[in-house]
């Protein structure tokens, strides 16, 4: 197939960067979008010919090859299953689901229907991470001993992510799932399971540091140990002012790699008057600034969605890290971190 016909479920933040990434791809036709609001603005911005209030109608009426699920976490399960039952390959935004049982059912239904399930962990496609992959392969830092990684910012834009019932957790799930996914991809590789997990979170509502209106935690950290002995430390929090901060440090037997995905633009701007936008979740765009050159490309979205389009087009399955299994393992690990925080105990298992 030369042209992949795409449907988008959702119409706001994530839907917009999916549309942006698809619109850069010569093999894509954005065919339809379904959501409960914001349909007119998104269809106009990205020139999408058909709009639907109900994604099931979109799946039934449109001839789609691939659909992007960009709606709140608690709706991923039903939307992925509906797409798969309609015979469509699915890209599911992170986290894969809100419960492990839902995630496992999504994998099973897609397997039964022979439709592909792509787990949208964009970190695996960031040009920075791709370069790190190549450096590690070349032997630049020897064997990996320890990785420290985080995604943190000052608070979510989405009302669904503030509510534990619609998010499935708080900042550790919603943001920390990125570093967990990256560690599984880089160290786990689908062969070296995580065997030990501990975690600590603020706990939601009045227990939170800052966001007492959020029922999920606003601060979370977790430690994990892989079967081969490698340690990981991950963070996901909403207490970090100054723009989204995504950082990775990798310590090996023969060297160290440090990377900054969000604050490392090659542009230095001084503007006392200020500008409208520089990087995600930076509220005061005045003074000395580092505007992202191409934020969606830097974060990996553009290459990620191009890869999923190629898989659908060329009839190929995704690599470990961005398949359903990796998405489910991320969820299990974050849930083990929650259990550890609740009980004060180390949780043992085999997650990959």
Ligand X SMILES: NC(=O)c1ccc[n+]([C@@H]2O[C@H](COP(=O)([O-])OP(=O)(O)OC[C@H]3O[C@@H](n4cnc5c(N)ncnc54)[C@H](O)[C@@H]3O)[C@@H](O)[C@H]2O)c1
Does residue 81 belong to the site contacting ligand X (CB under 6 A)? no
Check: CB of residue 32 under 8 Å from CB of residue 49: yes
Q: Does 13 bind ligand X (CB under 6 A)?
A: yes
Q: Residue 134 to residues 131, 137, 138, 140, 300: CA-CA distances in angstroms? A: 5, 5, 6, 9, 16
* Residue with smaller CB distance to ligand X, 82 or 250: 82
CA distance 318 to 322: 6
Q: Which C-beta is closer to ligand X: that of 72 or that of 324?
A: 72
Residue 288: how many CA atoms within 13 Å on its side-chain side?
2
How many residues lie near ligand X (CB under 6 A)? 25
Residue with smaller CB distance to ligand X, 64 or 144 = 64
How far apart (Å, rounded) are the C-alpha atoms in residues 306 and 122? 11
Whether residue 196 contacts residue 347, with contact meaning beta carbons closer than 8 Å, is answered with yes
CB of 95 to ligand X, least distance (A): 7
Does 94 bind ligand X (CB under 6 A)? Our answer is yes
CB-nearer residue toward ligand X: 198 or 247: 247
Applying the rule CB under 6 A, the residues between 29 and 68 that interact with ligand X are 34-38, 55
Query: Of residues 8, 19, 32, 70, which one binds ligand X by CB under 6 A?
Result: 70
Q: How far is the CB of 75 from ligand X (least distance, A)?
A: 5
- Quick one: how far is CA 147 from the chain centroid? 18
| Cα angle 217, 328, 115; round to 5 | 135
**178 is written with which tokens?**
């990125």
Task: Assess 3 for contact with ligand X (CB under 6 A).
Answer: no
Please report whether residue 122 would count as binding ligand X according to CB under 6 A. Answer: yes
Within 279-338, the residues that bind ligand X by CB under 6 A are: none
Binding site for ligand X (CB under 6 A): 9-15, 34-38, 55, 70-73, 75, 93-94, 120, 122, 158, 160, 174
């Amino acid at each position: 197939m030369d042209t992949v016909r795409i449907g988008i479920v959702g119409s706001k933040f994530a839907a917009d960067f999916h549309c942006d990434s698809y619109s850069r791809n010569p093999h894509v036709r954005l065919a339809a979008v379904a959501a409960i609001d914001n349909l007119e603005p998104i269809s106009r911005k990205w020139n999408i010919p058909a709009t639907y209030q109900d994604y099931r109608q979109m799946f039934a009426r449109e001839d789609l090859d691939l659909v992007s699920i960009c709606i709140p976490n608690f709706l991923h399960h039903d939307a992925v299953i509906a797409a798969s039952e309609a015979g469509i390959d699915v890209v599911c935004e992170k986290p894969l689901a809100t419960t492990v049982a839902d995630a496992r059912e999504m994998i099973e239904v897609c397997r039964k229907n022979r439709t592909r399930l792509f787990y949208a962990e964009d970190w695996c496609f960031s040009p920075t991470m791709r370069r790190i992959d190549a450096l590690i392969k070349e032997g630049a830092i020897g064997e990996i001993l320890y990785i420290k990684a985080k995604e943190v910012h000052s608070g979510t834009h989405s009302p669904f992510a503030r509510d534990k019932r619609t998010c499935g957790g708080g900042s550790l799930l919603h943001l920390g799932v990125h570093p967990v996914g990256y560690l599984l991809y880089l160290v786990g590789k689908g062969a070296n399971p995580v065997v030990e997990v501990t975690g600590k979170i603020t706990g939601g509502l009045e227990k939170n540091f800052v966001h007492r209106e959020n029922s999920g935690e606003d601060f979370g950290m977790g430690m994990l140990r892989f079967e081969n002995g490698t340690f990981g430390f991950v963070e996901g929090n909403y207490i970090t002012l100054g723009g989204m901060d995504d950082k990775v440090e990798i310590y090996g037997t023969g060297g160290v790699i440090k990377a900054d995905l969000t604050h490392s633009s090659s542009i230095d701007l001084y503007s006392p008057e200020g500008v409208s936008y520089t990087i995600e979740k930076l509220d005061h765009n005045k003074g000395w600034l580092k505007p992202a050159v191409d934020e969606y490309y830097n974060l990996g979205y553009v290459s990620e969605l191009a890869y999923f389009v190629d898989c659908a087009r060329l009839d190929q399955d995704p690599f470990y890290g961005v398949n359903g299994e990796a998405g489910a393992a991320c969820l299990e690990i974050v849930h083990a971190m929650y259990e550890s925080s609740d009980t004060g105990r180390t949780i043992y298992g085999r997650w990959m």
